[in-house]
Amino acid sequence: MTATIALVDDDRNILTSVSIALQAEGFLTRIYADGETALKALIDNPADLGIFDVKMPRMDGLELLRRLREKSQIPVIFLTSKDDELDEALGLAMGADDYIAKPFSQRLLIARVRAILRRAEITQPGAAATAGGAAEAPTGPLVRGRLTMDPARHRTTWNGEAVTLTVTEFLILETLAQRPGIVRTRNQLMDAAYQDDIYVDDRTIDSHIKRLRRKFRQVDPEFDSIETLYGAGYRFSEE
């Protein structure tokens, strides 16, 4: 099935050029010049992935993401100004899957779009396929103490309570939980969550870890199973 990408930016030149580039790669695109229009459209008719500019009139990308997350968990890539580190950190903390600083290479953007969509497909029932094209049996749930992760349904629970994770968060946590007590470096977590040699820096992984902890502490204020090993990385501590 052809993926639909929602582009939200008040810069018509970016909307046109990115839309043409994505369509040339076989994607369907829907374009919106402001966040308010995009919010209503995406709630009524969700896309497979969103590319949002951060700074827009009427409703900026951060507010659009915040309000959209109340209804949807579609993957989102932020477009930010080169020096807006605060915007990048806020976007990741609020649930964005990635960010790209302007000016950006369209080749890089398309590579990240493909990587995120591929990760999203992995979490869908029956998405994995063998070389012959037949669907593989879905992987069974991963259970670690009070944590249960079901990759086939993209469902995570802690002590029986649901915890809603983005695709990137799910893959990072799954990597940690697969081998409790084993330290995973930031590079290993990057490899698990970001394929196709896409570069992300240490701050991106740290932001995802902070967001994971915050989400679990919303259902369990005593949650401390993701441990930081300063200078080494992170590990999951199974109870």
CATH number at residue 166: 1.10.10.10
pLDDT at residue 239 in the model: 64
Assess whether 84 and 48 both reside in one domain: yes
Mark whether 29 and 105 lie in a shared domain.
Answer: yes
Tens of pLDDT along 11-70?
999 999 999 999 999 999 999 999 999 999 999 999 999 999 988 888 999 899 999 988
Domains: count for the chain: 2
DSSP line for 54-117: SS-SSS-HHHHHHHHTTT----EEEEEETT-HHHHHHHHHHT-SEEEEES--HHHHHHHHHHHH
Instruction: Confirm whether 172 is domain-assigned.
Output: yes
Confidence of residue 133 (pLDDT cuts 50, 70, 90): very low
What the block records as the tokens of 59 is 């409703």
* More confident of the two residues 6 and 100: 6
Same domain? 10 vs 110: yes
Confidence of residue 160 (pLDDT cuts 50, 70, 90): very high
Per-residue confidence (pLDDT) for residue 134, from 0 to 100: 37
Residue 9 sits in which domain range?
A: 4-121
Residue 13 maps to a domain: yes
Comparing 6 with 112, the larger pLDDT belongs to 6
Between the CA of residue 68 and those of 40, 62, 189, 230, what are the distances in Å? 9, 10, 27, 35
Are 206 and 116 part of one and the same domain? no
Please tell me the total number of residues recorded for the chain in this structure: 239
For the chain, first and last CA: distance in Å? 41
For residue 106, pLDDT beyond 70 = yes
Rounded distance between C-alpha atoms, residue 204 and residue 93, angstroms: 10
Ranked by mean pLDDT, the top range of 39-48, 120-129, 135-144 is: 39-48
